[in-house]
Every structure is written in structure tokens, then in C-alpha cells.
Structure 1
Amino acid sequence: MEYKRITSIQDPLFEKMHNLMKEVFPPEEVLEFDLWKEPLEDPGIRVFVAVHEDEVVGATEYRYYPDWNIAMTDFTIIGKPGLGIGPFLVKQRARDLAELAAANGKQLFGMFAEIYDPYRVKEHDFGGIMPMNPYVRREVLAHLGYKRLDFSYVHPSWNNDGEAVAGLDLCFMPTNEAISEIEANLVVNFLKRYYSVLPEKPTEWVQMIEELETKETVHLLPL
């Protein structure tokens, strides 16, 4: 299996990856094909695919923020069972992020991720791909060390229509397992920058940010 970076919508692997995304994720979570041009060309956004026998069988997108020494996992897709795609992507991503942090003279502080909560929202079947089952994914991410940030989370729809998307938790995986809370302003600054590409912010999101701005820290809770 190969770990290949995609930096252009002209890359034949990108069309395969985008088709896989449409099979797996709900429409409001998938950016339109042409709108990927700038993100893919952004050196700070890292999109990799797992290629097996010339087919894209998995993918992950993430980014590293050197000023905060944190990362964000945008998505991880496991397209087929029985190939070890999940462990492969996790190990390759961890190695890449460790190198990025080392180049910044640091050890990675931790990584954010939005994680579906199937106990609240049950309609996501992720294309019927069992390794993507939200119950399975949540338990796997808990085992990796992700913890839920203690506030009610929504995010702006990637359709940029001003709608709020619920049914997810914002989570954080600290490199140091002893960490039980993180600074609220880190969460606020991260979310503002992460969603700066979407000008249409729902009222629920704005209110969530305003409430976070009144706090000093946010606790990390078990998934």
C-alpha cells in the first residue's frame, strides 16, 4: 500500500478520492469538486490517499498549525475492510506530523477532530462501509486517545448556506495523556481560523464561540 499526497484536482487520484468521499459522507460534509482547487494547493493542508492496486482505498486530510503546535484531522476514510487501511493511515499521518513538529523545534501538543456521535444522530451509514460505522469509529478514536471537549458543538455547513451542522463532538487528542483540559482561547482561535473559509456562519455557531470566549479552559471528557 502506498501513501500518496494529492496537491491538484488534476491528479487522477483526486477524482477517485472525491468519489469515495461522496459514497461515505453526507452531502453537507463534502466540498464540491472544483472548490478543492485552492485547498489542495495550500501547502498547509495535507491530503493523502492510500493506494492499493491502483485504486484509492482510503484517504486522510489534516493540517498542522506551527504557531499553536497543534494539528487538525479533517477526515479519515477507510474504503474497504480487511486491508489494514486504518492503522496504515494513522501511522503514516503520525509520522508526517511528528516530522512537521520537529521541523518547528517541538513535539506535537495534540490534534483536534470532529467525531460523529451516533448516540444522538443515527442516520449516517457511511455508504454501508462497516469500518466507517460511527460506533466503530468513535471507539477506535477513543482508543487512540481522543477526548470530547466539554461543550455543545455545531459547525457551519460546508455547503456555505449558513446552516448549523450538529451531531458531532469537537475532540482533542493530547500527546501528553495527563492533560485534562486545554485553554479555551486555543479552541476559539482554532475554530475561527479553521472556518474562516466559510463566510456564512450560523447563529448557533456564533453563540457557541461567544460562550467559549467567556471561559478560561475547556475540560476533556471521555468519548
Structure 2
Amino acid sequence: MQYVRIQNIQDPLFVQMHQLMQEVFPPEEVLDFDLWKEPLEDPGIRVFVAVHEGKVVGATEYRYYPDMNVAMTDFTIIGREGMGIGRFLARERQKDLLRLAEQNGKVLYGMFAEIYDPYKAQDHAFGGIKPMDPFVRREVLSHLGYKRIDFPYVHPSWQNDGEAVSGLDLCFMPTDEDQDQLESSLVKTFLTRYYAVLPQKPQTWLDMVDGLAKQDKLALLPI
């Protein structure tokens, strides 16, 4: 398998990747094709695909914030079973992020991710691809070291319609596995930066972010 970065909406591999996203994610989680132009050209957004025999069989998008020294995993897609795609993507992503942090003169503090809670919402089929099943994904991400940040979480819909999307947890994978708290100011700064691209914010999200300013630390809990 090859780990290939995509930086242009005209890249044939991106067409395959977007089709794969539409197959596995609910509509409110998928950015429209044309709206990908600027993100792909943004040097801070890293979109990679796993390519096997010319076909996109997996993908991941993530970013590194040098000033906060944290990363965010936007999504990981496993398109086929029995090929070790998840492990391949996780390993290559981690190597890339550790290199970026080293270039920044730091050791990576950790990585955020939004993780579906199948115990709250069990209606995501994810294209019938079993490794994408929310129960499987949650357990795998727990094994990788992700922990749930202890606060009620919603996020703005990527359809930019002002709707709040629930059924997910905001999680964090600290580089220090023994870390059991996270600065709420970091979470607030991260969320404000991450969702700045969406002008239509639901009031529940605004209230949630305002609430973070009133706290000091947030517990990191098992998932």
C-alpha cells in the first residue's frame, strides 16, 4: 500500500476518496465536493489516502496546530476488510505528526478526535463496511489510547445549516498515557479554531463553548 497526500480537487484519487466518504458517512458529515478545493490546498490540512493497485482503499484527514502543539484527526476511512488498512493509516499518520512536532521543536502533546457513541445512536451503517462499525471503531480507538473528554458535546453540522449534531464524544489521545486531565482552555481554543470555517453555529454549540471558559480542567475518561 502507498500513503499518498492529496492536495488538489482535480486529483483522480480525490474523486475516489469523496465517493468513499459518501458511502460510509452520513450526509451531514460530508463536505460538498466543490467545497474541498480550499481545504486540500491548505498546507495545514493533511489529506492522505491508502492506495492499493491504483484504488483508494482508505483515507485519513488530520491537522497539526503548532501553537497548541496538538493534532486533530478529522476522519479515518477503512474501505476494505482484511488488509490492515486501519493499522497502516494510524502508523503513517503518527509518524507524520511526530515529525511535524519535532520540526516545531516539541514533543506532540496529543491528538483530538470526534468519536461516535453507538450507545447513544445506533443508526450509522457506514456503508456496510464492518471495520467502520461504530462499536468496532470505538474499541479500536480506545486501544490506540483515546480518552473521552468529560463534558456534553455537540458540533455544528458540516452542511453549514446551523444544526447541532450529537451522538459523538470529543476525545483526546495524550502522548502521556497516564494523563487523566486536559485544560479546558485548550479545548475551547481548539474548538473555536477548528469550527471557524463554519459561520452557521447552533446556539447549543455556542453555549457549550462558553461553558468551557468557566472551567479549569476536564477529566479524561475511558471509552
Considering the TM-score relative to the shorter chain, is it more than 0.5?
yes
| Partner SS, residue 148 of structure 2 | strand
Aligned to 1:222: 222
1:108 match: secondary structure? coil
Letter aligned with residue 172 of structure 2: F
In structure 1, C-alpha distance between the alignment counterparts of 2:213 and 2:15, rounded to whole Å:
40
Q: Which amino acid aligns with 1:51?
A: V
Determine if the alignment matches structure 1 residue 45 to structure 2 residue 45: yes
Q: CA deviation at 1:142?
A: 0.2
How far apart are residue 63 of structure 1 and its match?
A: 0.1
Residue 108 of structure 1 is matched in structure 2 by: 108
Q: Indicate the residue corresponding to 1:126 in structure 2.
A: 126
The answer for the alignment partner of 1:140 in structure 2 is: 140
How far is the alpha carbon of 1:210 from its aligned partner?
1.1
Q: What stretches of structure 2 of length at least 5 have no aligned partner?
A: none
Amino acid of the structure 1 residue aligned with 2:75: F
Q: Secondary structure at the match of 2:60?
A: strand
Moved over 4 A (4+): none
Structure 2 equivalent of residue 26 of structure 1:
26
2:67 is matched with: 67
The number of equivalent residue pairs is 223
Q: Give the structure 2 partner of residue 208 of structure 1.
A: 208
Q: CA–CA distance in 1 between the matches of 2:13 and 2:177?
A: 36
In the other structure, the counterpart of 2:192 is 192
Tell me how far apart the structure 2 counterparts of residues 194 and 13 of structure 1 sit (CA, whole Å). Answer: 25
- State how far apart, in whole Å, the 2-side matches of 1:192 and 1:163 are: 17
Which structure 1 residue ranges, 5 or more long, are not aligned?
Answer: none
Q: TM-score, normalised by structure 2?
A: 1.00
Partner of 1:6: 6
In the TM superposition, residue 65 of structure 1 has moved relative to its aligned partner by 0.3
Q: Give the Å deviation of 1:32.
A: 0.2
Q: Hey, what does 1:182 align to over in structure 2? A: 182
Identity of aligned residues (%): 69
Q: CA deviation at 1:83?
A: 0.6
For residues 184 and 152 of structure 2, the distance between their equivalents in structure 1, rounded to whole angstroms, comes to 14
Using the size of structure 1 for normalisation, the TM-score is: 1.00
SS of the aligned residue for 1:47 comes to strand
Q: CA deviation at 1:178?
A: 1.4
